[in-house]
Amino acid sequence: AQSVTQLDSHVSVSEGTPVLLRCNYSSSYSPSLFWYVQHPNKGLQLLLKYTSAATLVKGINGFEAEFKKSETSFHLTKPSAHMSDAAEYFCVVSDDQAGTALIFGKGTTLSVSS
Amino acid sequence: EPEVTQTPSHQVTQMGQEVILRCVPISNHLYFYWYRQILGQKVEFLVSFYNNEISEKSEIFDDQFSVERPDGSNFTLKIRSTKLEDSAMYFCASSEARGEKLFFGSGTQLSVL
């Protein structure tokens, strides 16, 4: 079965500094991997998706993630944090090759201070 | 951008009562999903629905749960006899095709007293 582990429950950064949200996964085949973001009182929004094309995936709002098979990692990064990036971030792996059942990590809360 | 709409945003019910959570998926989408998140825990897959039938379901989705697309626009989740442990945020999602991007609603917070 697929699973995903988000290594930090809470990350705090200052505005303008880099963001790193860590995620490791386990999968018995080439997985589809996602990062979703949830702002307060909003639905889950897809940031980016990896599906075995380029290993470096660029998403919305300046975020990107790199798929590293040797490390079974899919960390999310952003060069410079903005106050509006403060939210809950979920690393997600698909439970099947069609990607219809998603397995979520526990989430990482990102706080951004001025 | 089109949105998935969920109503109500917060539902309070007594243990043993039936509840129906409502969702309006994006109009041209064909696949529909329910997920839930118990406070402090992971978001969990419940069920996916396509062509008027369940295509996948998790172990959580037992006989107390059912889904329905009663008309061309709504997608509902019914819990027949709620338990305290059903208290959670329930998310509806839809996608245009299998494996495509899921669009999530903002959730219904269910509180079972």
How far, in Å, CA of B70 to CA of B74, rounded? Answer: 6
Q: What pLDDT, on the 0 to 100 scale, is given for residue A54? A: 82
> pLDDT by residue (tens digit) across B52-90?
999 889 999 999 999 999 887 899 999 999 999 999 999
- Which positions in chain B touch A49 (Cβ < 8 Å)? 101
The conformation of residue A60, written as its DSSP 8-state character, comes to G
Looking up tokens 């998140």 gives B37
Token couple for A93: 């792996």
- Examine the pLDDT at A97 and tell me if it is beyond 80: no
A102, B45 contact by CB (below 8 A): yes
Task: Please work out, in degrees rounded to the nearest 5, the angle formed at the alpha carbon of residue B86 by the alpha carbons of A89 and B89.
Answer: 30
Interface test with A, best of B34, B37, B43, B44 (most A CBs within 10 A): B43
CB B97 within 8 A of CB B31: yes
Percent share of chain A, pLDDT over 90: 61
Average pLDDT over residues B12-29: 96
Note the pLDDT of residue A100.
60
Can you read off the two tokens belonging to residue B89?
Answer: 């945020």
Tell whether B7 lies on the interface with A, counting CB pairs under 8 A: no
**Once rounded to an integer, what is the mean pLDDT over residues A15-21?**
98
Place of tokens 């940031």: A47
B74 to chain A, closest Cα gap in Å: 18
pLDDT tens string B50-62: 999 998 899 999 9
